[in-house]
Amino acid sequence: MTQPPHTPGTVTPAETRSGLLAWRNAVFAIFFVSGLTLATWMSRIPAVRDGLDLTTAQVGLVIFGLSGGSVLGLIAAVGLLARLGTRRAMTLSVGVSTVGLITAGVGASLIPTAGLVFAGLALMGFGMGALDVMMNVEGAAAERAVGKTLMPLMHACFSLGTVIGALIGAGASFVELPVFWHLAVIAVLVLVTAVAAVRTIPQREHDAEPETDAPGAATSSASVAGNWRERLRANLAVWGDVTVLLIGVIVLGMTFAEGSANDWLALAAVDGHAMSNTEGAIVFGVFVTAMTVGRVFGGPVLDRFGRVPVLRVCAVLGVVGLLLFILAPNQPVLYTGTVLWGLGASLGFPVGMSAAADDTRNAAARVSAVAMIGYFAFLVGPPVLGLLGESWGILNALYLILVLMILAGLAAPAARERGTARAGRG
């Protein structure tokens, strides 16, 4: 893969092996804690539903807080990166998400109130949405420096975090640990880990705002205003790029398949297949384990066969897995479908992020735009599936995902690698 040009004065960790490894490992850690945060909440949804005595539709509306906050975080991410730099912006984002997680725990256990849970999820979503853009931009930069596909492995760290979170959640459910204490302990762990990790992430010149308190501040201020106008125009221009929009369709379909499992898989297993809350958490754990496996092995597979055919196979696996899960006459078929569903959804988001970041001139804006399209699934998915599930049953509501998975498979050519990128891979 062609290395990005070196800018004088820019920190380039790829210049030393130890610096590159530290940078890569820090991004791995951020992906991991992001997944751990999400799964900690998702694994306790049945308990929260029971504790607050919510209907299926009401659960969807509460989860909408997470979705809406995520979209706002995606919008704010580029500005936060520019103003604060990568390290401080990431730390702020993780801090907001952990405060939100604790707040949701308070609303679920200490002061049982659906509105407080909604507010906590909105904060959690904002922090996680902003962090999503930041860690994907950093991941794409490290991927280019290394010269081989790393994004699926980075997202595998996210999935590993969800596996650990699901296992801890199943254990917490089994011992009937109050939701607040579960969420609060994980929140503290996530924040401490993230603060330690971001210290080894480099600060690059394009991350920071120019200083305005030095001599010549008036000129600098005018320059800053001009830079912000140019940045705004560049950010809006990516929405006119057909390739970006088609990559967004891929991410939309695959994210809907992944996000729907995060939101509804445990409840679908409980309400649709008569499982216990603990068994529902285990089914969710099987799904995220399959996601992790798909992402761990996804990098070499993508380097061998290319993005387009792999995405098409993923779409087929996802459709077959969903059908098996929905129609499962017994638990073995249900678990088989869950595994295929997880494998099918595993590579769509990381491949979409890599494809969006192929154009390094405006990578943050392109990644933000594609992520925003994908997060539209998180925004509309919970309430739509909740309303459909209330009327037709949660299992029947999952058929909506099939259509989007098919569209993602059809849009796969938009993610094709640039010739220079493929040529540089061994």
Residue 213 scores a pLDDT above 50: no
* Amino acid letter for position 177: L
**Token duo for residue 140:** 């794409």
Higher local confidence (pLDDT), 15 or 167: 167
* pLDDT greater than 50 at residue 306: yes
Other CB atoms within 10 Å distance of the CB of residue 362: 20
- Domains annotated on the chain, with CATH: 16-203+238-418 (1.20.1250.20)
Determine contact, residues 346/119, Cβ cutoff 8 Å. Answer: no
pLDDT at 109 (0 to 100)? 87
For residue 186, pLDDT over 60 is answered with yes
Contact 259, 381 (CB under 8 A): yes
pLDDT at 2 over 70: no
How far does CA 303 lie from the centroid of its chain? 22
Residues 251 and 345: their CA atoms lie apart, in Å, by 10
Alpha-carbon distance 308 to 301, whole Å?
Answer: 11
Tens of pLDDT along 215-274? 343 434 344 345 555 655 666 666 767 878 888 889 888 888 887 787 778 778 888 887
Integer Cα distance of 356 and 132 in angstroms: 14
- The two tokens of residue 219 are 């000129």
Model pTM above 0.85: no
Question: What is the tens place of the pLDDT at every residue in 394-426?
Answer: 788 888 888 889 999 898 888 887 654 443 343
N- to C-terminal Cα separation, the chain: 9
Asked whether 129 and 110 are in contact (CB, 8 A), the reply is: no
Q: Which residue has the higher pLDDT, 273 or 203?
A: 273
Output the CA torsion sign for 391, 396, 398, 399. negative
Q: What local confidence, expressed as pLDDT, does residue 310 receive?
A: 92
Distances (CA, A) of 145 to 18, 19, 154: 13, 11, 14
Q: Where are the alpha helices (DSSP H) in 175-306?
A: 179-198, 217-237, 242-260, 266-267, 273, 277-305
pLDDT for 352: 85
Q: Looking at this protein, which amino acid is placed at residue 384?
A: V
340 phi/psi in degrees, rounded to 5: -65, -40
Tell whether the model's pLDDT for residue 358 goes beyond 70: yes
